């Protein structure tokens, strides 16, 4: 198995402020990694960097085989980022939003229907403009886009925020399924127990660097352990 | 002018001083020649003395925009891409905008007694006025925040967009005018056809002097821009160190990201705990 | 590229159908401008009056002002949720995004121009003639306006003061369009549409130049906004 994410001494800036201060991280394909760390540790920045949104100032960064120092564009079609904002158009309906995102990413539009059903958006909500949805419902729409797109690399930034109990359970299930389908998942979450339960590995960030890493115990971690050995 | 040169050490400043001194001497000499030595013109009287300034200012304006455009192109061209060209483009258009303002003011002062109006919709005048606003816009684009390289590329594209507009503006105003009525007054620059003797020398000197002043201003603006970039770069290491220090006393373990080390990592470090590393914040 | 342009244009027009901002705000604004000119230069109407003589120019100034609003709206839609990251992440070809956004804004503006022309004709009492020349100049001028507008729209998207920056960048740039389109209209309405043929080519050259720059430069500009 190759590396989905391979970062070495990565520095990225916002203005003159270093978001990442020499961060190194290796994520293998098919692995689920849980990012932890206090607010401002660099979790969101790391996810945005992997999505090709933030330039790499120094160090090396290869994501899904694309060298981000020379090409930050090609990776974007292959990753699915669930950010703080959902990249949704307020005035479009739920279904239109999902369809537009799926077609823009050149994914199979046939997956839209199933994705909507999966996130409980296939009923009355389908034709409702996103502007009228609650934060949790918007998150479901963004997740539906990812489900329909089936990206090789899922980058989830606080995916649990705003979701109700059912939604959280559904999200966990989606992560497990994505992993089973061979996708790589990196999720940043303060829902420690919940996120670790579906993760192979926990990586602690602080000050824009990796400060700790450990394997997860439990069901999924056991599988990874056998992989490593 | 070598934009590849550094921001200038001792020698650079010495050259700059000489340049500034020469420019100053040239301007003073132009003023002296223009106001006291040369005779009043047969047709224009004392008004002709403005001629020693206005065409030279306009000339510098053209040079400044020309250099800004060329260095923007050189920045966009991948094989010559260097931040130095961006700094040069910015410095040159800043000086260019100042000289455009001066061109408009001196031209207007000239126009009032000659044509009886402060302003006329002459193609050259109108184009100059639009040029002034276009490049003010360009300078505003330069101020939009962003990563250094990104700002440079954006600015270079904006310079290109603005520059492509200049000939279109000029010809459209030319047609616009000619369809109304033939221009009754020529540009003051053409007045130099009947300039001779001491007047010609003064005029020539004014061109040289103001070009020197331009070069001096340009070099200084460039030097400041280079210093600003340098400062930005120098602050970086400190900023990275500070950023790393946010992690507190926990030793960084980012150096062994390879999969094989993970078991070791798992053994060596108990569960990190999300709030652990940056506790106290 | 064209596939993406089609997708983006369809999306933008659908958003307009849903939100009706162009219909409910940009168009009324253009009509208010037309009325304001009337108040400033009226009340005399009819042949020989200031309003009637200035009608072509006033029409195009109103169009220019409406263009800025339409372009701003087009990018406000993108910045609303995710500050343009969505566009960057979408996987869409930037040239396609440029063409699509330009096409959507141009379509809205052309419809607006149709009604605005009727309004100008009525309110300023100026009979419209040589409709083919009027329409041709509208289409060519609008393409140029929108290409330049969308190009600068993405430039100013990254600026904190984008509302004030866009007009500063946009108006001087499109001065030739104002001149050309006004001249074409003036000649057409005066009953001598043949004389202005050079203007149409100038408008065309402007449109081609800025569409070409937009297709090439939109990507890098979007990246930095």
Per-residue pLDDT of chain A (229 residues; tens, 9 = 90+): 578 899 998 888 877 788 888 889 999 998 999 998 888 888 899 999 999 888 888 888 999 988 988 888 888 888 989 887 778 888 899 999 999 999 988 888 888 999 999 888 888 889 999 889 888 889 999 999 999 988 999 999 988 888 888 888 889 999 999 999 889 999 998 888 888 888 888 888 888 888 877 776 544 443 443 333 3
- Smallest CA-to-CA distance from B252 within A61, A21, A212 is with A212
Distance from CA of A89 to the nearest CA of C (A): 7
Q: Pick from B140, B165, B175: which is nearest to C168 by CB?
A: B140
Distance from CA of B3 to the nearest CA of A (A): 23
Burial of C132 (0-12, 13-18, 19+ CB in 10 A): exposed
**Pairing mode of beta strands A201-206, A32-36:** parallel
Q: What is the pLDDT of residue B1?
A: 43
Q: What does the mean pLDDT of chain A come to? A: 85
Q: C122 in contact with A at a CB cutoff of 8 Å?
A: no
Angle, to 10 degrees, between the axis of helix C131-157 and the axis of helix C197-224?
Answer: 20
Nearest-CA residue of chain A relative to B242? A207
Distance from CA of B240 to the nearest CA of A (A): 5
Domain A3-78+151-228 carries which CATH code? Answer: 3.40.50.300
Residues B156-178 have a mean pLDDT of 83
Q: What is the pLDDT of residue C194?
A: 66
- pLDDT tens, C5-53? 999 999 999 999 888 888 888 999 999 999 998 888 877 777 778 888 8
Which residues of chain C are at the B interface, by a Cβ-Cβ cutoff of 8 Å?
A: 148, 151-152, 155-156, 158-160, 165, 168-169, 171-173, 175-176, 179-180, 183, 195, 198-199, 202, 205-206, 209-210, 213, 217, 220-221, 223-224
Q: Pick from B232, B243, B265: which is nearest to A213 by CB?
A: B265
For chain B, the straight-line distance linking the first and the last C-alpha, in angstroms and rounded, comes to 51
Asked if C86 lies within 8 A of A87 by C-beta distance, the reply is yes
What span, in angstroms and rounded, lies between the C-alpha atoms of A163 and B253?
A: 33
What span, in angstroms and rounded, lies between the C-alpha atoms of B56 and B39?
A: 19
- Smallest CA-to-CA distance from A168 within A119, A228, A114 is with A119
Domain locations in chain C? 2-224
Q: C160 in contact with A at a CB cutoff of 8 Å?
A: no
- pLDDT tens, C105-122? 999 999 999 999 999 988
Q: Over 60: is that where the pLDDT of B273 sits? A: no
Nearest-CA residue of chain A relative to B263? A215
Asked if B145 lies within 8 A of C180 by C-beta distance, the reply is no
Chain B, window 193-252: residues with a beta carbon less than 8 angstroms from a chain A beta carbon: 232, 235-236, 239-241, 243-248, 250-252
Asked if A37 lies within 8 A of B274 by C-beta distance, the reply is yes
- Cβ C199 vs Cβ B175: under 8 Å: yes
Per residue in A55-77, is it b (16+ CB within 10 Å) or e — as a string? bbbebebbbbebebeeebebbbb
Asked if B154 lies within 8 A of C220 by C-beta distance, the reply is yes
Contacts of C202 in chain B (CB under 8 A): 168, 171-172, 175
- Smallest CA-to-CA distance from C219 within C99, C103, C74, C105 is with C99
- Beta strand residue intervals within chain A, DSSP E: 3-14, 17-28, 32-36, 58-63, 66-67, 79-82, 153-157, 184-188, 201-206, 209-215
Asked if C155 lies within 8 A of B158 by C-beta distance, the reply is yes
Alpha helix locations (H) across B9-53?
10-32
Nearest-CA residue of chain A relative to B236? A16
Q: Over 60: is that where the pLDDT of B260 sits? A: no
Chain A contact probe: residue of B148, B154, B261, B277 with most A CBs at under 10 A: B277
Q: What is the pLDDT of residue B6?
A: 46
- Smallest CA-to-CA distance from A35 within A206, A164, A170 is with A206
Long-range Cβ contacts of B251-254 (<8 Å, 24+ apart) = B251/A211, B252/A209, B252/A210, B252/A211, B253/A210, B253/A211, B253/A212, B253/A213, B254/A22, B254/A23, B254/A24, B254/A25, B254/A209, B254/A210, B254/A211
Contacts of B150 in chain C (CB under 8 A): 223-224
How big is the A-B interface in CB pairs under 8 Å? 132
Distance from CA of C3 to the nearest CA of A (A): 9
Q: What is the pLDDT of residue C82?
A: 58
What span, in angstroms and rounded, lies between the C-alpha atoms of A104 and C134?
A: 37
Asked if B235 lies within 8 A of A16 by C-beta distance, the reply is yes
What span, in angstroms and rounded, lies between the C-alpha atoms of B12 and B18?
A: 10
Which residues of chain B are at the C interface, by a Cβ-Cβ cutoff of 8 Å?
A: 130, 133-134, 136-137, 140-141, 143-147, 150-151, 153-154, 157-158, 160-162, 164-165, 168-169, 171-173, 175-176, 179
Band of residue C129 on the pLDDT scale cut at 50, 70, 90: confident
Residue at token pair 């400044």 = B64
Q: What are C6's two structure tokens?
A: 């089609």
Band of residue B279 on the pLDDT scale cut at 50, 70, 90: very low
Q: What does the mean pLDDT of chain C come to? A: 88
Is residue A42 left, alpha or beta, with left meaning phi > 0 and alpha meaning psi from -120 to 50? left
What span, in angstroms and rounded, lies between the C-alpha atoms of C173 and B130?
A: 8
Distance from CA of B131 to the nearest CA of C (A): 8
Q: What is the pTM of this model?
A: 0.83
- Cβ B211 vs Cβ B59: under 8 Å: yes
Q: What is the pLDDT of residue C196?
A: 59
For chain B, the maximum distance between any two Cα atoms, rounded to a whole number of angstroms, is 98
Residue at token pair 């960030």 = A205
- Cβ B54 vs Cβ B107: under 8 Å: yes
- Cβ A224 vs Cβ A201: under 8 Å: yes
Q: What is the pLDDT of residue A220?
A: 43
Three-state secondary-structure class, residue B38: coil
Distance from CA of C101 to the nearest CA of A (A): 14
Residues B46-61 have a mean pLDDT of 81
Q: What are B256's two structure tokens?
A: 């062994």
Q: What is the pLDDT of residue A217?
A: 56
- pLDDT tens, B138-157? 999 998 887 788 889 999 99
Q: What are C193's two structure tokens?
A: 């549409």
On the CB side of B263, how many CA atoms lie within 13 Å of its CA?
Answer: 8
Q: A34 in contact with B at a CB cutoff of 8 Å?
A: no
ipTM of model: 0.85
- pLDDT tens, B193-206? 455 677 777 888 88
């Amino acid at each position: 198995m190759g590396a989905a994410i391979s970062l070495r001494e990565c520095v990225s800036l916002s203005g003159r402020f270093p978001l990442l201060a020499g961060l190194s991280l290796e994520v293998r394909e098919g692995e689920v990694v849980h990012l932890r760390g206090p607010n401002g540790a660099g979790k969101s920045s790391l996810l945005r960097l992997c999505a090709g949104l933030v330039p790499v100032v120094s160090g090396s960064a290869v994501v899904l085989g694309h060298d981000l120092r020379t090409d930050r564009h090609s990776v974007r079609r292959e990753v699915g980022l669930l950010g703080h904002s959902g990249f949704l158009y307020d005035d479009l309906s739920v279904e239109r939003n999902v369809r537009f995102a799926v077609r823009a990413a050149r994914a199979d539009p046939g997956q839209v229907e199933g994705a909507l059903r999966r996130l409980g958006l296939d009923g009355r909500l389908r034709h409702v403009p996103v502007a009228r949805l609650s934060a949790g419902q918007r998150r479901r729409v963004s997740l539906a886009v990812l489900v329909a797109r089936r990206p090789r690399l899922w980058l989830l930034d606080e995916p649990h925020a705003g979701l109700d109990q059912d939604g959280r359970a559904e999200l966990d299930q989606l992560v497990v399924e994505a992993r089973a389908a061979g996708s790589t998942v990196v999720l940043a979450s303060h829902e420690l127990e919940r996120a670790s339960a579906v993760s192979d590995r926990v990586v602690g960030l602080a000050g824009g660097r990796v400060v700790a890493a450990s394997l997860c115990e439990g069901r999924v971690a056991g599988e990874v352990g056998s992989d490593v050995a | 002018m070598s934009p590849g040169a550094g921001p200038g050490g001792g020698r650079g400043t010495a050259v700059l001083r000489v340049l500034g001194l020469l420019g100053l001497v040239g301007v003073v000499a132009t003023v002296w020649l223009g106001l006291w030595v040369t005779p009043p013109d047969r047709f224009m009287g004392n008004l002709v003395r403005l001629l020693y300034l206005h065409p030279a200012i306009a000339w510098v304006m053209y040079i400044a925009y020309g250099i800004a455009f060329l260095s923007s192109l050189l920045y966009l061209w991948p094989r010559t891409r260097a931040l130095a060209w961006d700094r040069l483009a910015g410095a040159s258009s800043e000086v260019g905008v100042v000289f455009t303002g001066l061109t408009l003011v001196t031209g207007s002062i000239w126009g009032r007694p000659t044509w009886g109006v402060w302003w006329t919709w002459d193609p050259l005048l109108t184009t100059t006025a639009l040029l002034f606003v276009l490049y003010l816009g360009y300078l505003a684009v330069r101020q939009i925040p962003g990563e250094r390289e990104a700002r440079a590329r954006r600015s270079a594209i904006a310079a290109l967009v603005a520059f492509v507009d200049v000939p279109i503006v000029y010809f459209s105003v030319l047609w616009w005018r000619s369809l109304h009525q033939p221009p009754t007054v020529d540009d003051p620059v053409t007045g130099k056809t009947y300039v001779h003797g001491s007047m010609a020398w003064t005029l020539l000197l004014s061109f040289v002097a103001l070009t020197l002043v331009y070069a001096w201003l340009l070099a200084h603006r460039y030097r400041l821009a280079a210093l600003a970039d340098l400062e930005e770069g120098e602050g970086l290491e400190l900023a990275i160190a500070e950023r790393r220090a946010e992690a507190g006393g926990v030793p960084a373990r980012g150096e062994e990201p390879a999969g094989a080390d993970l078991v070791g990592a798992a053994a060596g470090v108990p569960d990190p705990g999300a709030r652990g590393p940056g506790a106290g914040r | 590229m064209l596939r993406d342009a089609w997708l983006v244009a369809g999306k933008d027009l659908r958003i307009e159908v849903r939100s009706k901002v162009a219909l409910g705000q940009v168009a009324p604004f253009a009509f208010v401008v037309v009325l304001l000119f009337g108040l400033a230069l009226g009340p005399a109407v009819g042949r020989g009056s200031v309003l009637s003589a200035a009608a072509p120019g006033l029409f195009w100034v109103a169009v220019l002002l409406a263009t800025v609003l339409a372009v701003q709206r087009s990018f406000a839609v993108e910045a609303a949720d995710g500050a343009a990251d969505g566009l960057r992440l979408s996987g869409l070809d930037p040239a396609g995004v440029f063409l699509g956004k330009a096409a959507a804004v141009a379509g809205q503006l052309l419809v607006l121009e149709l009604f605005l022309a009727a309004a100008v004709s009525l309110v300023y009492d100026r009979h419209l003639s040589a409709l083919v020349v009027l329409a041709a100049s509208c289409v060519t001028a609008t393409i140029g306006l929108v290409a330049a507008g969308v190009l600068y729209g993405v430039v100013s998207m990254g600026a904190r003061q984008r509302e004030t920056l866009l007009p500063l960048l946009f108006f001087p740039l499109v001065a030739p369009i104002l001149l050309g389109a006004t001249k074409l209209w003036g000649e057409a309405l005066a009953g001598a549409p043949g004389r202005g043929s050079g203007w149409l080519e100038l408008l065309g050259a402007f449109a081609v130049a800025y569409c070409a720059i937009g297709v090439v430069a939109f990507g890098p500009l979007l990246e930095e906004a």
